[in-house]
Structure 1
Amino acid sequence: MNRHSEDPARACRFGFVEWFRPGEYARSEEVLADILAAGASHLRTHLSWAEYLAPGGEEWFDWLIPRLGAAIDLLPCLHYTPPSLSRTGRSSGAPRVLKDYADFVDHILTRYGAWFTHVELWNEPNNLLDWDWREDPEFDLFCEMVGAAAYWARHRGFKPVLGGPCPFDPYWLNLMGERGVLAVVEAVGFHGFPGTWDSEAASWGGWDLHLGEMRQIMDRHNPRAEIWITETGYSTWRNDELEQVRRFAKAINLPVARSYWYGYQDVAPDVPVQEGLWFDPRHYHLGIADHQGHPKLLGRLLQEGGLSRVDDVARLQGPGIMRPARPLVISGGAGFIGSNLADSFLREGREVIVIDNLSRPGVDRNLAWLEERHGGRVHPALIDIRDLPALEPALADASAVFHLAAQTAVTTSLERPIDDFEINARGTINLLEAVRKAGRQAPVIFASTNKVYGALPDLAMIETEDRYVPADPMLRAHGVGEGRALDFCTPYGCSKGVADQYVLDYAKSFGLPSAVLRMSCIYGPRQFGTEDQGWVAHFLIRALSGEDISIYGDGKQVRDILFIDDAVAAYRAVHAGIAEVSGRAFNLGGGAANAVSLNMVIREIDRLRGRGTGRNLAPWRAGDQLYFVADTRALRDAFGWRAATEWRKGLSALHDWLVEHRFPHLAEEGRRSAAR
């Protein structure tokens, strides 16, 4: 289609669209750094004529344009008439003197021309909010204004780009050709948002159709002109971040010279996007990072490994689910516990639907591992549990549901409590309602947390040389039982506690078979531990990386750690006996026999590695328990379950797995050392 598309190197070049408002100095620096880290080579931003002539405008753009242009290939979009010069008194109106726009373009080229090679002339001219075509129904004023500006920009050695219409209008584009505008531009922009606006408005015919129409028109009027995707994107307002990945992968491989993704960062919820569109949520979630700069799935993939990582994930199965009869369903099934649980059933020949949004780093590798081992019996449903319409078909035929998907970090819940609630509480309600709506009475087994018992401040503790132990001998012998009063602490404890209680209540109120496992610290292979969650694996990963371990508090806090094989056995036992235990909650942990302090775990890591590990001490964190050991006698009495793996053996198994799969150079060093 476009001759430039034949160059593979150009096909992989992409950029972002990001509008910066006057005075956003800090945000501009932050977003620019993130855009570069994502591997983008281009940036499209607006240089508003109206803002430039407003008080402080020159000062702002004198800083912004050189700052951006020095770091990245910059495309400024020159639009918005100053109201004082507009025929309508609005920025969307044509200037009273059309030549004023060409003079403004000339001024910008003189002032900032060292920082870019192309200049875009206006934005979405067939959109009433950008160009008031009611006052210019035949686009006579627009063509005269932009044509003169494009001619002068070319005369000065710059490459003019005609702003893209949205939605695409071939009749408008052909009019630009008949009026001579296409003859004086080097590229023409195209705007398209399939799946967000265009397809829903029934105006979207597909990339091939619209780009083909565009090329035919341009070939009649200016065959040397390039086609650029100057705006495309996908809004994650339904939290379907994987679909954004797929749309991005498609867009950057289109047969065009350049592709700009809209945008890098979500619009803050208190910022009006366009008049009359304030409450449309789609406008506020177009970024690949949220409005605070936290990367979404697409942003994380680009930063982790660039376009190859995006392609790997985009190739995973899409939202259409090939459902077998009565499968097991595991939400969070690509996570640490979920993938091990899925593997245990798949090894028996069961069919498993894996629900996951792949938001946690590394879990897509767990999904790939499951598919490599079990092929077509793994059915990925790559959706977010907050997206109820997508969740319902994945659960329609479930024989049982293991609900493990969650926001799992206390620290994240303190930073983003609304997101924490939406995922853990609202997501759980979505899942329960989807199961209830299906009408098959599928059991739901929920992964809760010991945090529902709060910080346990009333427990009298004895401080020993390397740990805290309860003063109560019964508590020392058995740990905290299910009879302990709930005491939600931190937003994470609240959201998981709410979900915990809803799962139990659905057994009472609706007769839905359900049970809850309040977990302590689970560890083992396929865990990608972080500082905030999965601390046993995180400690090992830091030590094997040769990095210090951060200790919040004094390291004497005690947890009962449970090896993953034993956790899987517990979930399977509850599943098998759900008819007898529906409506009950069980504590799940390593018990008193596997109660260890953080300092004890670090000493064992040092023994496994044969060297010491550095430690950084930091203040205690909110809600941190001095001591939590799960009393697992209820699980034992109901199912005969026991923690079979002694903690040192489990830690050694995790160490060996990490060396083999995360640090293969250490395994090779060990083999060479043994050979000597």
Structure 2
Amino acid sequence: MIEAVKFWNEPNNKSHWDLELDPEWIRFGEMTRLACSAVAAENAQLTRVLGGISPIDPQFIQRLDAQGVLDGVHAVAVHGFPLDWNLWQIHEWPDKLAEIQAVTSLPVWVTEVGVSTFGAEEVQAWGLERTAQLLMGRAPRIHWYSLYDLPKAWPATTRHREAEGSSYYRHFHMGLLREDGSPKLAAREFHRFTPELGICQWFHFEDHRLHDAVRWLRQLGVKKLRTGLSWADSFRPDADAWFDRQMAALDEFDLTVTFCFTPEHRGLQPHHTSAPQVAEEYAEFCARMVRRYAGRSAPMPLAATA
């Protein structure tokens, strides 16, 4: 069920990685190298992807390359939201991909791209059409963010929350479906772009939307889905039982699974964006999830000797 694993989410975004604790990404690099090795030891056939970067920054890719991080992955990923958060226009998407392609020979995936309905549903519908025109055929994977609006009773997973102003509230309007599950204008057109266009949908612990999400993904013709397994959630009671239900429900899709979110008690600071106290613990979590849901790959045969 898993075709790829991703290491972290937006590591160059201060809402997802505490840059005060790790301003040069040295700890992040060590953690990711260890995780790559641990996953490869479990299943070398899985595609390993660097966590999608936001903003799209070629210098960040070069920085990690210099640390040897890119030696352990098969692809890098970018996230872009030019109609909501980025300081560039939507028609610049090909140029943004080219900036990353210029500094690495690895494939460049787009694992989050979307448009909020914060202002109007018509903006999202137009943005979906234009995004598909600009990205389809240019990236091996494209995941639209997201299927559902975030329920207003839940906090968005971002560090500074309401202090971000309107940027924070746009998180709640990114879905093709409203909070109550009813479709927006863009949902009625999404099937035109599948299966090439996938979806990114994060599921919260014990998420009540899981099975309805599967029905909608089938209806929309989605084949490729990106989701996440939270290292922080793994310490909750009955965490493995929830992970099992989530992964069983999503078994029919080609999954890219993101491993992220530091448990508060295992971080240098008690926050999900913190570098861990012990980098090997993140690697062990990644390996355990791969072992549980992807299994071990067959060992490579020994080379013949003369």
Residues 232-263 of structure 1 deviation map (CA, whole Å, 9 limit, x = unaligned): 35466332223123223324444249xxxxxx
Shift of 1:77: 0.7
1:242-641 pair list within 5 angstroms: 242-256=280-294
Residues 78-128 of structure 1 deviation map (CA, whole Å, 9 limit, x = unaligned): 1352xxx624xxxxxxx432xx43432332232233331322121585454
**d(CA) in 1 for partners of 2:247 and 2:280?**
31
Find the partner of 1:131 among 167, 172, 185.
Answer: 172
Q: Which amino acid counterpart does residue 39 of structure 1 have in structure 2?
A: G
Shift of 1:58: 4.4
**d(CA) in 2 for partners of 1:125 and 1:137?**
5
**d(CA) in 2 for partners of 1:34 and 1:109?**
34
Q: Which amino acid counterpart does residue 77 of structure 2 have in structure 1?
A: R
**d(CA) in 2 for partners of 1:33 and 1:145?**
45
Shift of 1:137: 3.5
Contact persistence 1:165–1:189 (CA under 8 A) = no
Aligned to 2:192: 152
Aligned to 2:121: 96
SS at match of 1:50: coil
Find the partner of 1:68 among 68, 84, 100.
Answer: 100
Q: Which amino acid counterpart does residue 205 of structure 1 have in structure 2?
A: A
**d(CA) in 1 for partners of 2:98 and 2:72?**
20
* Structure 1 position 182 matched with structure 2 position 222: no
Residues 520-554 of structure 1 deviation map (CA, whole Å, 9 limit, x = unaligned): xxxxxxxxxxxxxxxxxxxxxxxxxxxxxxxxxxx
Number of matched residues?
224
CA distance 1:160–1:246, change in 2 (3 Å): same
**d(CA) in 1 for partners of 2:67 and 2:107?**
12
Q: Which amino acid counterpart does residue 78 of structure 1 have in structure 2?
A: V
Aligned to 1:288: none
SS at match of 1:14: strand
**d(CA) in 2 for partners of 1:246 and 1:192?**
13
SS at match of 1:45: strand
SS at match of 2:267: coil
**d(CA) in 1 for partners of 2:106 and 2:185?**
31
Shift of 1:151: 0.8
SS at match of 1:121: strand
Contact persistence 2:82–2:90 (CA under 8 A) = no
SS at match of 2:135: helix
Contact persistence 2:111–2:200 (CA under 8 A) = no
Aligned to 1:42: 75
Runs of 5+ consecutive residues of structure 2 not aligned to the other structure = 5-41, 157-170, 269-276, 296-306
Contact persistence 1:102–1:145 (CA under 8 A) = yes
Contact persistence 1:182–1:218 (CA under 8 A) = no
Contact persistence 1:164–1:230 (CA under 8 A) = no
Shift of 1:211: 4.3
Contact persistence 1:120–1:162 (CA under 8 A) = yes
Contact persistence 2:136–2:197 (CA under 8 A) = no
Aligned to 2:114: 79
CA distance 1:163–1:240, change in 2 (3 Å): same
Shift of 1:39: 1.4
Aligned to 1:19: 53
CA distance 1:164–1:150, change in 2 (3 Å): farther
Q: Which amino acid counterpart does residue 112 of structure 1 have in structure 2?
A: L
| Higher RCO (CA-CA < 8 Å; seq separation 6+) | 2
* Structure 1 position 109 matched with structure 2 position 149: no
SS at match of 2:293: coil
CA distance 1:9–1:158, change in 2 (3 Å): same
Shift of 1:29: 3.4
Q: Which amino acid counterpart does residue 132 of structure 2 have in structure 1?
A: L
CA distance 1:109–1:174, change in 2 (3 Å): same
CA distance 1:113–1:136, change in 2 (3 Å): closer
